[in-house]
C-alpha cells in the first residue's frame, strides 16, 4: 500500500484518480478547494473514509504550501500533481489562450 497525495482531487480527472487509487488499496490524501465537495465525492464513489482524506487548499493563495504542510501528517510516497486553474486556461473565442495564461498555469 502506498500513501498518495493527489492535488486537484475533486476535478474530472482528479476524482477518477482518487477513486482508482483508493479502490486499489492505497491511502490517498487529496486537495480540494472545498472539503464539502471532497466529502461529496467520497460519498458518490462510496469510498472508505479511512482510506482517503480531503484537504482544503487553494493553490492560488500565497500560503498554500504552508497550509498543505500543516494539514498532512506525513510525506506521501507518491505525488500526482493534477491541480489546475479553470480560469487560467479559459479559451478565447478563437479557441486559443495567450502566452501569459499558459505561463501562469505552469509557473504560478
25-62 pLDDT per residue, tens? 999 999 998 999 999 999 999 999 899 999 998 887 88
**Which pLDDT band holds residue 88 (cuts at 50, 70, 90)?**
low
Q: Are 39 and 67 in contact (CB under 8 A)?
A: no
Name the residue range of residue 86's domain: 3-107
Domain tally for the chain? 1
pLDDT at 29: 95
Using CA atoms of 43, 46, 49, 54 in order, give the dihedral in degrees to the nearest 10. Answer: -50
pLDDT at 45: 95
**Is 0.85 topped by the overall pTM?**
no
pLDDT at 40: 95
* Ranges of H-type helices in the chain: 12-23, 35-44, 64-71, 99-107
Where residue 88 sits, what CATH number does that domain have?
3.40.50.720
Amino acid at each position: 500500500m502506498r500513501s498518495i497525495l493527489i492535488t486537484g482531487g475533486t476535478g474530472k480527472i482528479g476524482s477518477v484518480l482518487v477513486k482508482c487509487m483508493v479502490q486499489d488499496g492505497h491511502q490517498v490524501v487529496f486537495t480540494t478547494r472545498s472539503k464539502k465537495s471532497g466529502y461529496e465525492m467520497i460519498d458518490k464513489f462510496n469510498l472508505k473514509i479511512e482510506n482517503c482524506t480531503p484537504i482544503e487548499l487553494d493553490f492560488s493563495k500565497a500560503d498554500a504550501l504552508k497550509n498543505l504542510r500543516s494539514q498532512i501528517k506525513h510525506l506521501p510516497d507518491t505525488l500526482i500533481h493534477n491541480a489546475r486553474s479553470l480560469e487560467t486556461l479559459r479559451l478565447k473565442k478563437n479557441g486559443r489562450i495567450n502566452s501569459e495564461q499558459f505561463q501562469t498555469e505552469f509557473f504560478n
